[in-house]
Chain A
Amino acid sequence: MILAKTGNEAMAYAMKQINPDVVAAYPITPSTEIVQIFSNYVHDGLVDTEFVAVESEHSAMAACIGSAASGCRTMTATASQGLALMHEMLFIAGGLRLPIVVPIASRSLSSPLNIHADHSDSLASRDSGWMQFFCETVEEGYDSLIMAVKMAEKCSLPAIVSIDGFILSHCMERIEALDEQKVRDWLGPYKPNWNLLDLDRPILVGPATLQDYYYEFKRSQIEGMRTALPKVQEVMADFEKTFGRGYGVLEEYRCEDAEAVALLMGSASGDMRQAVDRLREQGGKVGMVKLRVFRPLPHELLRKTLTRFKTVAVLDRADSVNSFVGPLYNEVAASLYGAENQPELLSYVFGLGGKEFSPDDAARILEGALAGRKDETVTYVGVR
Protein backbone atom coordinates (compact mmCIF):
# COMPACT_ATOMS: atom_id res chain seq x y z
CA MET A 1 0.00 0.00 0.00
CA ILE A 2 1.42 3.38 -1.02
CA LEU A 3 1.14 6.00 1.71
CA ALA A 4 2.27 9.58 2.25
CA LYS A 5 3.93 9.69 5.67
CA THR A 6 6.27 11.93 7.59
CA GLY A 7 9.17 10.17 9.25
CA ASN A 8 7.45 10.29 12.63
CA GLU A 9 4.20 8.96 11.17
CA ALA A 10 6.06 6.15 9.43
CA MET A 11 7.93 5.18 12.61
CA ALA A 12 4.66 5.14 14.57
CA TYR A 13 3.06 3.10 11.77
CA ALA A 14 5.95 0.61 11.92
CA MET A 15 5.42 0.35 15.69
CA LYS A 16 1.72 -0.37 15.11
CA GLN A 17 2.66 -3.18 12.75
CA ILE A 18 5.30 -4.48 15.15
CA ASN A 19 2.68 -4.45 17.94
CA PRO A 20 5.11 -4.40 20.88
CA ASP A 21 4.01 -5.70 24.28
CA VAL A 22 5.08 -2.54 26.10
CA VAL A 23 5.86 1.06 25.11
CA ALA A 24 7.00 3.42 27.87
CA ALA A 25 7.74 6.91 26.62
CA TYR A 26 8.10 10.61 27.30
CA PRO A 27 7.68 13.28 24.62
CA ILE A 28 10.52 15.36 23.19
CA THR A 29 10.96 17.36 20.00
CA PRO A 30 11.31 16.19 17.26
CA SER A 31 10.25 12.61 18.13
CA THR A 32 7.12 13.52 20.14
CA GLU A 33 4.73 12.58 17.35
CA ILE A 34 6.01 9.00 17.20
CA VAL A 35 4.59 8.16 20.63
CA GLN A 36 1.71 10.60 20.28
CA ILE A 37 0.49 8.84 17.15
CA PHE A 38 1.27 5.44 18.64
CA SER A 39 -0.79 6.27 21.75
CA ASN A 40 -3.75 6.85 19.42
CA TYR A 41 -3.27 3.34 18.05
CA VAL A 42 -3.33 2.09 21.65
CA HIS A 43 -6.48 4.09 22.40
CA ASP A 44 -8.19 2.83 19.24
CA GLY A 45 -7.39 -0.77 20.12
CA LEU A 46 -5.29 -1.32 16.99
CA VAL A 47 -2.41 -2.74 19.04
CA ASP A 48 -2.21 -4.94 22.13
CA THR A 49 0.45 -2.74 23.69
CA GLU A 50 0.58 -1.71 27.34
CA PHE A 51 1.36 2.01 27.07
CA VAL A 52 3.14 3.57 30.04
CA ALA A 53 3.24 7.36 30.21
CA VAL A 54 6.19 8.12 32.46
CA GLU A 55 7.59 11.31 34.02
CA SER A 56 10.96 11.49 32.23
CA GLU A 57 13.14 9.74 29.69
CA HIS A 58 15.22 8.25 32.50
CA SER A 59 12.03 6.65 33.80
CA ALA A 60 10.98 5.68 30.27
CA MET A 61 14.15 3.66 29.76
CA ALA A 62 13.94 2.27 33.32
CA ALA A 63 10.39 1.07 32.60
CA CYS A 64 11.55 -0.40 29.28
CA ILE A 65 14.33 -2.30 31.06
CA GLY A 66 11.86 -3.70 33.60
CA SER A 67 9.51 -4.66 30.81
CA ALA A 68 12.16 -6.28 28.62
CA ALA A 69 13.58 -8.13 31.64
CA SER A 70 10.09 -9.53 32.13
CA GLY A 71 10.17 -11.03 28.65
CA CYS A 72 8.15 -8.37 26.81
CA ARG A 73 8.87 -6.98 23.34
CA THR A 74 9.57 -3.38 24.33
CA MET A 75 9.94 -0.05 22.52
CA THR A 76 10.10 3.67 23.19
CA ALA A 77 11.04 6.73 21.12
CA THR A 78 13.13 9.76 21.93
CA ALA A 79 15.70 12.30 20.72
CA SER A 80 18.47 14.61 21.81
CA GLN A 81 18.15 15.65 25.49
CA GLY A 82 15.81 12.72 26.01
CA LEU A 83 18.42 10.22 24.86
CA ALA A 84 20.96 12.10 26.98
CA LEU A 85 18.73 11.75 30.03
CA MET A 86 18.45 8.02 29.28
CA HIS A 87 22.23 7.75 29.10
CA GLU A 88 22.72 5.98 32.45
CA MET A 89 19.92 3.52 31.65
CA LEU A 90 21.23 2.84 28.11
CA PHE A 91 24.30 1.15 29.59
CA ILE A 92 22.12 -0.98 31.87
CA ALA A 93 19.96 -2.16 28.95
CA GLY A 94 23.18 -2.89 27.04
CA GLY A 95 24.78 -4.84 29.87
CA LEU A 96 21.63 -6.85 30.52
CA ARG A 97 21.49 -7.59 26.76
CA LEU A 98 17.85 -6.54 26.51
CA PRO A 99 16.56 -6.15 22.93
CA ILE A 100 14.77 -2.81 23.43
CA VAL A 101 14.23 -0.95 20.14
CA VAL A 102 14.14 2.85 19.98
CA PRO A 103 13.46 5.05 16.96
CA ILE A 104 15.08 8.44 17.44
CA ALA A 105 14.61 11.66 15.49
CA SER A 106 18.24 12.75 15.72
CA ARG A 107 18.71 16.26 17.07
CA SER A 108 21.56 18.37 18.41
CA LEU A 109 22.35 18.69 22.12
CA SER A 110 22.12 21.87 24.21
CA SER A 111 23.72 24.29 24.90
CA PRO A 112 22.90 26.50 23.05
CA LEU A 113 19.40 25.16 22.65
CA ASN A 114 18.59 23.84 19.20
CA ILE A 115 15.91 21.42 18.08
CA HIS A 116 17.24 20.56 14.62
CA ALA A 117 19.07 17.66 13.09
CA ASP A 118 22.52 16.35 13.78
CA HIS A 119 23.93 13.09 15.11
CA SER A 120 25.30 14.36 18.43
CA ASP A 121 22.67 12.45 20.43
CA SER A 122 23.17 8.95 19.09
CA LEU A 123 26.93 9.26 18.62
CA ALA A 124 27.28 10.40 22.25
CA SER A 125 25.68 7.04 23.15
CA ARG A 126 27.98 4.99 20.96
CA ASP A 127 29.71 3.20 23.87
CA SER A 128 26.51 2.12 25.63
CA GLY A 129 26.28 -1.28 23.93
CA TRP A 130 23.41 -0.42 21.57
CA MET A 131 23.25 -1.20 17.87
CA GLN A 132 22.84 1.98 15.81
CA PHE A 133 21.26 2.32 12.40
CA PHE A 134 21.14 5.53 10.32
CA CYS A 135 18.59 6.16 7.58
CA GLU A 136 18.46 8.30 4.44
CA THR A 137 14.72 8.27 3.74
CA VAL A 138 11.41 7.84 5.53
CA GLU A 139 10.85 4.43 3.95
CA GLU A 140 14.32 3.31 4.97
CA GLY A 141 13.52 4.40 8.54
CA TYR A 142 10.26 2.44 8.47
CA ASP A 143 11.94 -0.70 7.11
CA SER A 144 14.92 -0.35 9.44
CA LEU A 145 12.71 -0.11 12.52
CA ILE A 146 10.91 -3.33 11.63
CA MET A 147 14.22 -5.07 10.89
CA ALA A 148 15.77 -3.71 14.11
CA VAL A 149 13.26 -5.63 16.22
CA LYS A 150 14.37 -8.92 14.69
CA MET A 151 18.05 -7.96 14.80
CA ALA A 152 17.86 -6.91 18.45
CA GLU A 153 16.18 -10.14 19.49
CA LYS A 154 18.53 -12.28 17.40
CA CYS A 155 21.62 -10.60 18.86
CA SER A 156 20.28 -9.91 22.37
CA LEU A 157 21.28 -6.28 21.92
CA PRO A 158 19.22 -3.10 22.18
CA ALA A 159 18.95 -0.98 19.03
CA ILE A 160 18.57 2.67 18.04
CA VAL A 161 17.18 3.56 14.61
CA SER A 162 17.96 7.15 13.66
CA ILE A 163 16.02 9.37 11.28
CA ASP A 164 17.24 12.95 11.05
CA GLY A 165 15.13 15.36 13.09
CA PHE A 166 12.72 17.49 11.02
CA ILE A 167 14.50 16.66 7.75
CA LEU A 168 12.95 13.19 7.91
CA SER A 169 10.80 13.26 11.05
CA HIS A 170 8.57 16.09 9.80
CA CYS A 171 8.86 15.86 6.02
CA MET A 172 6.37 13.81 4.09
CA GLU A 173 7.56 11.17 1.68
CA ARG A 174 6.03 8.36 -0.29
CA ILE A 175 6.41 4.98 1.34
CA GLU A 176 5.27 1.56 0.29
CA ALA A 177 3.87 0.21 3.52
CA LEU A 178 4.15 -3.51 4.10
CA ASP A 179 1.23 -5.78 4.83
CA GLU A 180 0.58 -5.69 8.57
CA GLN A 181 -0.09 -9.38 9.01
CA LYS A 182 2.98 -10.21 6.94
CA VAL A 183 5.13 -7.99 9.19
CA ARG A 184 3.75 -9.63 12.33
CA ASP A 185 4.24 -13.11 10.88
CA TRP A 186 7.78 -12.27 9.80
CA LEU A 187 8.68 -11.02 13.27
CA GLY A 188 6.91 -13.91 15.02
CA PRO A 189 6.47 -13.99 18.78
CA TYR A 190 9.35 -12.79 20.95
CA LYS A 191 11.07 -15.67 22.71
CA PRO A 192 13.22 -14.16 25.48
CA ASN A 193 16.33 -15.97 26.70
CA TRP A 194 15.14 -15.46 30.24
CA ASN A 195 12.26 -13.84 32.03
CA LEU A 196 12.36 -12.29 35.48
CA LEU A 197 8.77 -13.37 36.16
CA ASP A 198 9.32 -17.05 35.28
CA LEU A 199 8.67 -18.68 38.64
CA ASP A 200 9.85 -22.07 37.36
CA ARG A 201 13.30 -20.66 36.64
CA PRO A 202 14.17 -18.13 39.34
CA ILE A 203 17.02 -15.81 38.38
CA LEU A 204 18.77 -12.76 39.73
CA VAL A 205 18.91 -9.84 37.26
CA GLY A 206 21.41 -7.04 37.60
CA PRO A 207 23.84 -8.51 40.15
CA ALA A 208 26.78 -6.69 41.67
CA THR A 209 30.03 -8.00 40.18
CA LEU A 210 33.22 -6.51 41.52
CA GLN A 211 36.85 -7.14 40.56
CA ASP A 212 36.04 -10.83 40.19
CA TYR A 213 33.49 -10.80 37.35
CA TYR A 214 32.72 -7.30 35.99
CA TYR A 215 35.50 -7.39 33.39
CA GLU A 216 34.48 -10.88 32.26
CA PHE A 217 30.85 -9.85 31.82
CA LYS A 218 31.94 -6.79 29.80
CA ARG A 219 34.16 -8.99 27.63
CA SER A 220 31.17 -11.22 26.99
CA GLN A 221 29.04 -8.17 26.07
CA ILE A 222 31.75 -6.93 23.68
CA GLU A 223 31.69 -10.32 21.98
CA GLY A 224 27.93 -9.99 21.60
CA MET A 225 28.44 -6.79 19.58
CA ARG A 226 31.47 -8.16 17.70
CA THR A 227 29.51 -11.15 16.47
CA ALA A 228 26.32 -9.21 15.70
CA LEU A 229 27.23 -8.11 12.17
CA PRO A 230 26.56 -11.40 10.33
CA LYS A 231 23.26 -11.74 12.19
CA VAL A 232 22.32 -8.19 11.17
CA GLN A 233 23.14 -9.11 7.56
CA GLU A 234 21.07 -12.31 7.81
CA VAL A 235 18.03 -10.32 8.92
CA MET A 236 18.53 -7.83 6.06
CA ALA A 237 18.69 -10.71 3.58
CA ASP A 238 15.63 -12.36 5.10
CA PHE A 239 13.75 -9.04 4.94
CA GLU A 240 14.65 -8.66 1.27
CA LYS A 241 13.54 -12.21 0.52
CA THR A 242 10.20 -11.66 2.26
CA PHE A 243 9.37 -8.08 1.32
CA GLY A 244 11.51 -7.41 -1.77
CA ARG A 245 13.38 -4.42 -0.36
CA GLY A 246 17.09 -4.93 0.13
CA TYR A 247 19.54 -3.08 2.33
CA GLY A 248 23.20 -3.56 2.97
CA VAL A 249 25.31 -2.64 5.94
CA LEU A 250 26.61 0.05 3.65
CA GLU A 251 25.48 1.16 0.22
CA GLU A 252 27.81 2.02 -2.63
CA TYR A 253 26.47 4.56 -5.10
CA ARG A 254 28.23 4.85 -8.47
CA CYS A 255 31.50 3.70 -6.94
CA GLU A 256 32.57 1.25 -9.67
CA ASP A 257 35.53 3.16 -11.14
CA ALA A 258 35.49 6.01 -8.65
CA GLU A 259 38.70 7.71 -7.53
CA ALA A 260 37.14 9.83 -4.79
CA VAL A 261 34.13 8.96 -2.67
CA ALA A 262 32.23 10.55 0.18
CA LEU A 263 31.33 8.43 3.21
CA LEU A 264 28.42 9.59 5.35
CA MET A 265 25.30 8.58 7.29
CA GLY A 266 21.71 9.81 7.36
CA SER A 267 19.52 12.05 5.23
CA ALA A 268 22.41 14.06 3.74
CA SER A 269 23.16 10.97 1.65
CA GLY A 270 20.32 12.21 -0.59
CA ASP A 271 22.19 15.47 -1.25
CA MET A 272 25.39 13.56 -1.86
CA ARG A 273 23.61 11.26 -4.33
CA GLN A 274 22.57 14.31 -6.40
CA ALA A 275 26.08 15.74 -6.23
CA VAL A 276 27.57 12.44 -7.42
CA ASP A 277 25.16 12.41 -10.38
CA ARG A 278 26.05 15.99 -11.26
CA LEU A 279 29.81 15.37 -11.17
CA ARG A 280 29.44 12.08 -13.05
CA GLU A 281 27.70 13.98 -15.86
CA GLN A 282 30.83 16.11 -16.12
CA GLY A 283 33.01 13.00 -16.16
CA GLY A 284 34.15 13.17 -12.52
CA LYS A 285 35.05 9.75 -11.14
CA VAL A 286 33.20 10.13 -7.85
CA GLY A 287 30.84 8.03 -5.76
CA MET A 288 29.20 7.75 -2.38
CA VAL A 289 29.43 5.16 0.37
CA LYS A 290 26.44 5.43 2.67
CA LEU A 291 27.03 3.79 6.04
CA ARG A 292 23.78 2.40 7.49
CA VAL A 293 25.15 0.48 10.46
CA PHE A 294 27.36 2.37 12.90
CA ARG A 295 27.14 -0.28 15.63
CA PRO A 296 28.19 -3.02 15.13
CA LEU A 297 30.81 -1.10 13.12
CA PRO A 298 31.55 -3.06 9.92
CA HIS A 299 35.29 -2.28 10.15
CA GLU A 300 36.43 -5.12 7.88
CA LEU A 301 33.90 -4.21 5.22
CA LEU A 302 34.90 -0.54 5.49
CA ARG A 303 38.55 -1.50 5.03
CA LYS A 304 37.77 -3.74 2.07
CA THR A 305 35.56 -1.13 0.42
CA LEU A 306 37.49 2.07 1.06
CA THR A 307 40.93 0.76 0.03
CA ARG A 308 39.61 0.64 -3.55
CA PHE A 309 39.60 4.44 -3.74
CA LYS A 310 42.29 7.09 -3.89
CA THR A 311 40.52 9.56 -1.63
CA VAL A 312 37.69 9.23 0.89
CA ALA A 313 35.94 12.28 2.32
CA VAL A 314 34.38 11.33 5.67
CA LEU A 315 31.42 13.50 6.62
CA ASP A 316 30.44 13.81 10.26
CA ARG A 317 27.13 15.36 11.30
CA ALA A 318 28.54 15.70 14.82
CA ASP A 319 31.80 16.71 16.43
CA SER A 320 33.34 15.17 19.53
CA VAL A 321 34.77 18.56 20.54
CA ASN A 322 38.12 16.87 20.77
CA SER A 323 39.89 19.47 18.62
CA PHE A 324 40.83 16.82 16.10
CA VAL A 325 38.30 15.11 13.80
CA GLY A 326 34.69 13.93 13.84
CA PRO A 327 33.63 10.64 15.50
CA LEU A 328 32.88 8.76 12.26
CA TYR A 329 36.24 9.82 10.79
CA ASN A 330 38.01 8.45 13.89
CA GLU A 331 36.40 5.06 13.50
CA VAL A 332 36.96 4.91 9.75
CA ALA A 333 40.63 5.88 10.20
CA ALA A 334 41.04 3.20 12.88
CA SER A 335 39.43 0.64 10.56
CA LEU A 336 41.89 1.55 7.78
CA TYR A 337 45.03 1.72 9.86
CA GLY A 338 47.66 -0.72 8.66
CA ALA A 339 45.76 -1.58 5.48
CA GLU A 340 47.55 -1.77 2.16
CA ASN A 341 46.48 0.88 -0.35
CA GLN A 342 45.16 3.22 2.29
CA PRO A 343 43.15 6.02 0.73
CA GLU A 344 43.75 9.65 1.55
CA LEU A 345 41.20 10.45 4.28
CA LEU A 346 39.64 13.89 4.51
CA SER A 347 37.53 15.04 7.45
CA TYR A 348 34.42 17.19 7.06
CA VAL A 349 31.99 18.26 9.76
CA PHE A 350 28.65 19.55 8.50
CA GLY A 351 25.06 20.36 9.33
CA LEU A 352 25.30 20.84 13.10
CA GLY A 353 22.00 21.98 14.60
CA GLY A 354 20.24 21.49 11.26
CA LYS A 355 22.52 23.88 9.34
CA GLU A 356 21.53 23.71 5.68
CA PHE A 357 23.53 21.18 3.69
CA SER A 358 22.80 21.28 -0.03
CA PRO A 359 23.80 19.27 -3.10
CA ASP A 360 26.09 22.23 -3.91
CA ASP A 361 27.89 21.75 -0.58
CA ALA A 362 28.13 18.04 -1.31
CA ALA A 363 29.50 18.70 -4.80
CA ARG A 364 32.19 21.02 -3.43
CA ILE A 365 33.31 18.26 -1.05
CA LEU A 366 33.54 15.78 -3.92
CA GLU A 367 35.47 18.26 -6.08
CA GLY A 368 37.87 18.84 -3.20
CA ALA A 369 38.28 15.11 -2.71
CA LEU A 370 39.07 14.69 -6.43
CA ALA A 371 41.71 17.38 -6.12
CA GLY A 372 43.33 15.55 -3.21
CA ARG A 373 44.92 16.74 0.01
CA LYS A 374 43.66 19.89 1.65
CA ASP A 375 45.28 22.28 4.09
CA GLU A 376 42.94 22.06 7.06
CA THR A 377 42.74 18.93 9.24
CA VAL A 378 38.99 19.32 9.40
CA THR A 379 36.76 21.37 7.13
CA TYR A 380 33.73 22.80 8.89
CA VAL A 381 31.32 22.90 5.97
CA GLY A 382 29.04 25.93 5.82
CA VAL A 383 30.21 27.62 9.03
CA ARG A 384 30.48 31.40 8.83
Chain B
Amino acid sequence: MADLKSWKELPCGAIIEDMKAVLDNKTGAWRSMRPVWSEEKCINCLVCWVYCPEASIKVEDGKMTGIDLDYCKGCGICAAVCPKKVHAIDMVKEEK
Protein backbone atom coordinates (compact mmCIF):
# COMPACT_ATOMS: atom_id res chain seq x y z
CA MET B 1 0.00 0.00 0.00
CA ALA B 2 3.00 2.26 0.51
CA ASP B 3 3.28 3.23 -3.15
CA LEU B 4 -0.33 4.41 -3.44
CA LYS B 5 -0.60 8.07 -4.39
CA SER B 6 -2.12 10.81 -2.21
CA TRP B 7 -5.17 12.73 -3.41
CA LYS B 8 -2.97 15.68 -4.31
CA GLU B 9 -1.11 13.62 -6.91
CA LEU B 10 -4.18 12.36 -8.77
CA PRO B 11 -5.24 13.61 -12.21
CA CYS B 12 -8.28 15.89 -12.42
CA GLY B 13 -11.37 13.89 -13.39
CA ALA B 14 -9.99 10.45 -12.47
CA ILE B 15 -8.59 9.77 -15.93
CA ILE B 16 -5.96 7.06 -16.24
CA GLU B 17 -2.99 7.84 -18.44
CA ASP B 18 -0.90 4.87 -17.38
CA MET B 19 -2.16 2.17 -19.70
CA LYS B 20 0.03 -0.37 -17.94
CA ALA B 21 -2.42 -0.31 -15.04
CA VAL B 22 -5.16 -1.21 -17.47
CA LEU B 23 -3.16 -4.02 -19.03
CA ASP B 24 -2.19 -5.45 -15.63
CA ASN B 25 -5.83 -5.88 -14.70
CA LYS B 26 -6.63 -9.19 -16.44
CA THR B 27 -10.40 -8.87 -16.56
CA GLY B 28 -10.69 -12.21 -18.37
CA ALA B 29 -10.78 -13.79 -14.92
CA TRP B 30 -14.36 -12.51 -14.52
CA ARG B 31 -15.60 -14.65 -17.44
CA SER B 32 -18.28 -17.29 -17.05
CA MET B 33 -18.87 -17.81 -20.80
CA ARG B 34 -16.02 -18.18 -23.28
CA PRO B 35 -16.12 -17.35 -27.01
CA VAL B 36 -14.86 -20.15 -29.26
CA TRP B 37 -13.83 -18.88 -32.69
CA SER B 38 -13.73 -20.95 -35.85
CA GLU B 39 -11.03 -19.76 -38.25
CA GLU B 40 -12.55 -21.87 -41.08
CA LYS B 41 -15.99 -20.29 -40.82
CA CYS B 42 -14.76 -16.70 -40.24
CA ILE B 43 -15.12 -14.38 -43.26
CA ASN B 44 -13.03 -11.57 -41.64
CA CYS B 45 -15.80 -9.00 -41.84
CA LEU B 46 -14.44 -7.74 -38.45
CA VAL B 47 -17.86 -6.67 -37.17
CA CYS B 48 -16.90 -8.34 -33.87
CA TRP B 49 -13.75 -6.19 -33.77
CA VAL B 50 -15.91 -3.07 -34.09
CA TYR B 51 -18.32 -4.11 -31.35
CA CYS B 52 -16.01 -5.75 -28.78
CA PRO B 53 -15.99 -3.38 -25.76
CA GLU B 54 -12.66 -4.78 -24.51
CA ALA B 55 -10.57 -4.71 -27.72
CA SER B 56 -10.15 -8.46 -27.32
CA ILE B 57 -10.53 -9.37 -31.02
CA LYS B 58 -7.00 -9.88 -32.32
CA VAL B 59 -6.43 -8.72 -35.89
CA GLU B 60 -3.33 -8.77 -38.09
CA ASP B 61 -3.15 -7.41 -41.63
CA GLY B 62 -6.92 -7.06 -41.80
CA LYS B 63 -7.55 -10.63 -40.70
CA MET B 64 -8.81 -11.95 -37.41
CA THR B 65 -6.25 -14.11 -35.64
CA GLY B 66 -8.06 -14.98 -32.42
CA ILE B 67 -9.54 -13.70 -29.19
CA ASP B 68 -7.50 -12.30 -26.34
CA LEU B 69 -8.81 -14.29 -23.39
CA ASP B 70 -6.72 -12.29 -20.89
CA TYR B 71 -9.21 -9.43 -21.21
CA CYS B 72 -12.36 -10.98 -22.75
CA LYS B 73 -15.09 -10.86 -20.09
CA GLY B 74 -17.29 -13.24 -22.06
CA CYS B 75 -20.08 -10.75 -22.73
CA GLY B 76 -20.99 -12.56 -25.99
CA ILE B 77 -21.44 -9.45 -28.10
CA CYS B 78 -19.00 -10.85 -30.71
CA ALA B 79 -21.10 -14.01 -31.07
CA ALA B 80 -24.29 -11.95 -31.27
CA VAL B 81 -23.02 -9.63 -34.03
CA CYS B 82 -21.31 -12.37 -36.07
CA PRO B 83 -23.49 -12.71 -39.23
CA LYS B 84 -26.09 -15.48 -38.75
CA LYS B 85 -25.06 -17.34 -41.91
CA VAL B 86 -21.41 -17.29 -40.83
CA HIS B 87 -21.76 -18.23 -37.16
CA ALA B 88 -18.02 -18.33 -36.52
CA ILE B 89 -18.21 -17.68 -32.74
CA ASP B 90 -19.91 -19.89 -30.17
CA MET B 91 -20.26 -19.08 -26.49
CA VAL B 92 -19.47 -22.05 -24.26
CA LYS B 93 -19.55 -22.36 -20.50
CA GLU B 94 -16.22 -21.84 -18.72
CA GLU B 95 -15.23 -24.92 -16.77
CA LYS B 96 -12.44 -25.34 -14.30
Contacts and interface: CB of A to CB of B under 8 A. Distances in A.
A193 interface: yes
A206 B13 CA distance: 8
Interface string B32-46: 000000000000000
A220 B22 contact: no
A143 B12 CA distance: 28
Nearest to B18: A204
B85 interface: no
Contact of A206 (B4, B5, B14): B14
Contacts of B14: 95-97, 206-207, 209, 217
A201 interface: yes
Contact of A193 (B6, B8, B12, B16): B12
Interface string A93-106: 00111100000000
A372 interface: no
Contacts of A213: 4-5, 10
A204 B13 contact: no
A95 B19 CA distance: 20
A156 B12 CA distance: 8
B5 A98 contact: no
A201 B16 CA distance: 11
Interface string A212-254: 1101110110011000000000000000000000000000000
B2 interface: no
A97 B11 CA distance: 10
A98 B14 CA distance: 11
Contacts of A324: none
A138 to B, nearest CB: 33
Secondary structure type dominating chain B contacts: loop
A183 B19 CA distance: 39
A156 B11 CA distance: 12
Nearest to A212: B4
Nearest to B10: A220
A203 interface: yes
Given A212-B4, A213-B4, A216-B5, A203 B16 contact: yes
A216 to B, nearest CB: 4
A205 B10 CA distance: 14
A203 to B, nearest CB: 5
Nearest to A97: B13
Contacts of A220: 7-8, 10, 12
Contacts of A216: 5-7, 10
A189 B82 CA distance: 43
Contacts of A188: none
A236 to B, nearest CB: 23
Interface in B30-65: none
Nearest to A224: B12
B24 interface: no
A205 B22 CA distance: 11
A201 B19 CA distance: 10
B22 to A, nearest CB: 6
B16 A204 contact: yes
A202 B7 contact: no
A194 B13 contact: yes
Given A95-B13, A97-B13, A224-B12, 14 more contacts: A96-B13, A96-B14, A96-B15, A98-B13, A193-B12, A203-B16, A205-B15, A206-B14, A212-B4, A213-B10, A216-B6, A217-B10, A220-B7, A220-B12
9 contacts: A95-B13, A193-B13, A201-B17, A204-B17, A206-B14, A212-B4, A213-B5, A217-B10, A217-B14
Interface of B: 1, 4-8, 10, 12-17, 19, 22
